[in-house]
Amino acid sequence: MTSRKLIYSVLILVVFYVATHISSWIPPQYRSDYGFSYMIWMLTIAACWPLLGKRLFSITGLSSSARVGVLWGLVFVSPMLLGFALSDAPAQFAPSLLVTKALLPGFLEELMFRGFLVGMLIRVAGWRLLPAALINAVVFGIGHWFQGATVTEALMASVFTGIGGLWFAWLFVVWQHNLWLVVTLHTVMNACWVTWQVDTTAVGDQFANLLRLSTIILSVVLTLLLQRRRTTTDLECK
């Protein structure tokens, strides 16, 4: 790694660490309990504009095709949607919870963890996918430690979300930094958790995890098939 890339790497990691931890450093009486962290994340992204300009939208995936991302995201998450809809699990439609527990986290967590962290490390600092995805998965998992009431529950929540972070990062990069794909997946999966009252943590029960695993497998298989088809087509055109 060149000295320039090392400086970029350190700068990106430091900025990310500060942005995702600054809310815990400020006394509660000086900040609102809800939305403060998200506001800091948005300001962090906006602060990159003077340095990167329009490249910022490409790096974070904001300029990617929303139509393609949302469409394939819905295809990938269909096992969960259909599975819960056809089950006898009690459903509760709560618009306020869907916004605070699904829509906002789905968009802003993907923007910060995949769009900013993974995108910056790969396209600015020159990292490869695997190390960028791994460090993203570790910090994403640790960030959900608070969900557990016991050490075991906290560890399980961190492991599940860490694996999810690794999966989201892989899809984000393989789909040419399409932020809207992972936003759709994250949002709809959270919405399923809220609507069908699966669990207060990311762990879930056996049925929910079976549906989640089906979604992961479907997304990986279809992505690899589409990538293989695209590679074959490109070779035939040469």
Query: Could you tell me how many residues make up the chain?
Result: 238
Distance (Å, whole) CA 210 – CA 147:
21
Predicted local distance difference test score (pLDDT) of residue 32? 58
Residue with tokens 């890339």: 5
DSSP string covering 142-156, please? HTTGGG-SSHHHHHH
Please tell me the predicted confidence (pLDDT) of residue 145: 77
State which amino acid sits at residue 137: A
Asked if the structure places residue 124 within a domain, the reply is yes
In this predicted structure, what is the pLDDT of residue 181?
A: 98
Is 33 domain-assigned? no
Is residue 221 a part of any domain in this protein? yes
Amino acid at site 42: M
Give 176's contacts (C-beta < 8 A, 6+ positions apart). Answer: 64
> What does the pLDDT read at residue 67?
97
pLDDT at 144: 77
Q: Which residues contact 130 (CB under 8 A, 6 or more apart)?
A: none
Surface-to-core class of residue 42, CB atoms within 10 Å of its CB (0-12 exposed, 13-18 middle, 19+ buried): middle
- Whether residue 130 contacts residue 195, with contact meaning beta carbons closer than 8 Å, is answered with no
Q: Does a structural domain hold residue 202?
A: yes
Strand, coil or helix: what is 82? helix
> Domain range spanning residue 232?
54-237
Q: How far apart are CA 104 and CA 153, in angstroms?
A: 24
Q: Would you call 185 exposed, middle or buried from its count of C-beta atoms within 10 A (0-12, 13-18, 19+)?
A: buried
Task: Say what the pLDDT of residue 233 is.
Answer: 61
CA-CA distances (angstroms) from residue 179 to 62, 81, 136, 174?
6, 21, 15, 11
Tokens of 171: 């899809």
3-state secondary structure of 62: coil
Whether residue 26 is contained in a domain is answered as: no
Instruction: Name every residue whose Cβ is closer than 8 Å to that of residue 28 and which is 6 or more positions away in sequence.
Output: none
Is residue 212 in a domain?
yes
Enter the DSSP assignment of 118.
I
Total structural domains in the chain? 1
Examine residue 135 and state whether it is found in any structural domain, yes or no.
yes
Look at the block and give the residue holding tokens 């949002």.
187
CA dihedral 156, 144, 119, 226 (to 10 degrees): 40
Using alpha carbons, list the distances in angstroms from residue 210 to 3, 59, 84, 125, 157.
Answer: 46, 33, 11, 37, 16
Q: What is the pLDDT along the chain (238 residues), one digit of tens a residue?
A: 688 899 999 999 999 999 998 887 777 666 655 688 899 999 999 999 999 999 999 999 999 999 999 999 999 999 999 999 999 888 888 899 999 999 999 999 999 999 999 999 999 999 999 999 999 999 998 887 777 678 887 888 889 999 999 999 999 999 999 999 999 999 999 999 999 988 777 788 899 999 999 999 999 999 999 998 877 665 555 5
